[in-house]
């Protein structure tokens, strides 16, 4: 039986959590679930990403603004949705629903955030087991904390001619080995480590010329550009900027690099690399330790260690057999453990349980 649910997020800009928000709602829609969204007025989500989804906008000015809190909570109550699911701190702090009124407030956490903005919810979802354990250790009731991981967005078909045009656009030579990293330019993504590792690579590995493609933007851009110039690698990097649709860039990649720092909770890029059939080199951040099998579906190196990351990149670039093995294992895992239907089924079951008072 389908169940209406309202999903509330207060972000202004796009990032991994916001991309997941859209993917999740569209998957629920495909499963026949009546979902609706409440997002921040004038933000990227409202402007570019919610076509075909029932959605409303509110200012969500600050978490201390009583009018914003009243507006969000009133909208949630007026929706009469049995499940109101919030994402990250702003939306969660602005949403207040009284228990026993036919609505359950579910806070979904995708990171190790301070817990006080989420404690007033009625139930909590974490996308890794480690995150759920941490929430329970932080005082949330164990019987109301639920682990449901992310599903991998199926790879979008990108015509070969579109990939060829993109290679031409970035002036890629036939011998170039394109190392693609999608991610917002913030500390947790480990860009500084990636640039230092890339600077340590030789100009040619096994007849291939490594080039780095950074798909993203953010507050660290100027700092990273300065680092690249000082390291003499600026001209070997494609600064692709934020892409509303990263699929062509993922299809373009010869390899995905994901050098996040330890606090990265899950890392959707890991799932994307597997879904797009690309060899993956990543660091041993929290999420990777939980979902990867090092040496089997990903080449995993320590966090914040440029020499180790450089050696990992070099090892995979130089070994076609290893590349094929990583891709094959990753493709199997993304289907078996991170399929859309299975994850949506878990959400539907949980919603039914919570709405019935379980």
In angstroms, rounded to a whole number, what is the distance separating the alpha carbons of residues 344 and 354? 15
pLDDT of residue 99: 80
Structure tokens at 307: 């020499």
Model confidence at 101: pLDDT above 90: no
For 141-168, the pLDDT digits (tens) are 999 999 999 998 889 999 999 999 999 9
Per 3-state DSSP, what percentage of the chain is helix, strand, and coil (rounded to 5)?
Answer: 45, 20, 40
pLDDT of residue 100: 77
pLDDT of residue 244: 83
From residue 227, alpha-carbon distances to 191, 221, 224, 259 in Å are 10, 10, 5, 16
Domains along the sequence of the chain with CATH: 5-151+339-355 (3.40.50.2000), 160-337 (3.40.50.2000)
pLDDT of residue 48: 85
Model confidence at 358: pLDDT above 80: no
Residue 144 DSSP class: G
What number is the average pLDDT over the span 259-284?
Answer: 95
Helix (H, G, I), strand (E, B) or coil at 40: strand
| Extended strands (E) in 236-276 | 237-239, 255-258
**Higher-scoring residue by pLDDT: 342, 227:** 227
Average pLDDT score over the chain: 95
pLDDT of residue 109: 94
List of long-range contacts for 13-17, beta carbons under 8 Å, 24+ apart:
13/43, 13/44, 14/44, 14/45, 14/48, 14/49, 14/242, 14/244, 15/184, 16/110, 16/183, 16/184, 16/268, 16/269, 17/87, 17/88, 17/110, 17/111
Residue 279: which pLDDT band, with cuts at 50, 70 and 90? very high
For 213-235, the pLDDT digits (tens) are 999 999 999 999 999 999 999 99
pLDDT of residue 271: 94
State the residue for tokens 């036919």: 102
- What are residue 322's phi and psi, to 5 degrees? -65, -40
Number of Cα atoms under 13 Å in the Cβ half of residue 283? 27
Structure tokens at 205: 């590995």
What number is the average pLDDT over the span 329-336?
Answer: 94
pLDDT of residue 118: 97
Determine if the pTM surpasses 0.85.
no
What number is the average pLDDT over the span 103-109?
Answer: 97
Model confidence at 91: pLDDT above 90: yes
**What is the 3-state secondary structure of 184-217?**
CCCHHHCHHHHHHHHHHCCCCECCEEEEEEEECC
What number is the average pLDDT over the span 289-297?
Answer: 97
What number is the average pLDDT over the span 83-100?
Answer: 94
For 129-140, the pLDDT digits (tens) are 999 999 999 999
Residue 169 DSSP class: H
For 190-204, the pLDDT digits (tens) are 999 999 999 999 999
């Amino acid at each position: 039986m389908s169940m209406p649910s309202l999903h509330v997020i207060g972000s202004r800009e796009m990032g991994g959590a916001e991309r997941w928000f859209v993917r999740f709602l569209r998957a629920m829609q495909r499963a026949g679930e009546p979902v609706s969204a409440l997002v921040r007025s004038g933000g990227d989500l409202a402007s570019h990403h919610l076509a075909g989804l029932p959605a409303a906008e509110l200012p969500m000015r600050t978490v201390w603004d009583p009018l914003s809190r009243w507006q969000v909570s009133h909208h949630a109550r007026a929706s009469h949705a049995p499940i109101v699911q919030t994402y990250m701190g702003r939306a969660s702090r602005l949403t207040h629903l009284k228990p026993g009124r036919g609505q359950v407030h579910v806070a979904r956490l995708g990171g190790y955030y301070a817990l006080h903005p989420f404690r007033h919810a009625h139930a909590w979802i974490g996308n890794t087991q480690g995150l759920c354990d941490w929430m329970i250790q932080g005082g949330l009731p164990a019987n109301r904390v639920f682990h449901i991981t992310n599903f991998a967005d199926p790879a979008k078909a990108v015509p070969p001619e579109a990939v060829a045009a993109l290679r031409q656009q970035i002036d890629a030579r036939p011998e170039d080995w394109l190392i693609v990293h999608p991610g917002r330019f913030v500390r947790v993504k480990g860009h500084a480590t990636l640039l230092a590792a890339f600077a340590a690579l030789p100009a040619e590995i096994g007849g291939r010329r490594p080039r780095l493609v950074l798909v993203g933007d953010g507050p660290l851009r100027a700092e990273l550009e300065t680092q690249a110039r000082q390291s003499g690698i600026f001209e070997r990097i494609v600064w692709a900027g934020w892409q509303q649709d990263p699929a062509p860039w993922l299809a373009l990649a010869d390899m995905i690099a994901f050098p996040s720092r330890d606090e990265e909770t899950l890392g959707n890029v890991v799932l994307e690399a597997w879904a797009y059939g690309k060899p993956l080199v990543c660091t041993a951040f929290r999420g990777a330790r939980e979902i990867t099998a090092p040496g089997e579906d990903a080449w995993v190196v320590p966090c914040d260690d440029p020499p180790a990351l450089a050696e990992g990149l070099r090892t995979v670039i130089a070994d076609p057999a290893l590349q094929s093995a990583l891709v094959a294992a990753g493709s199997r895992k993304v289907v078996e453990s991170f399929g859309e239907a299975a994850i949506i089924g878990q959400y539907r079951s949980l919603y039914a349980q919570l709405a019935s008072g379980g």
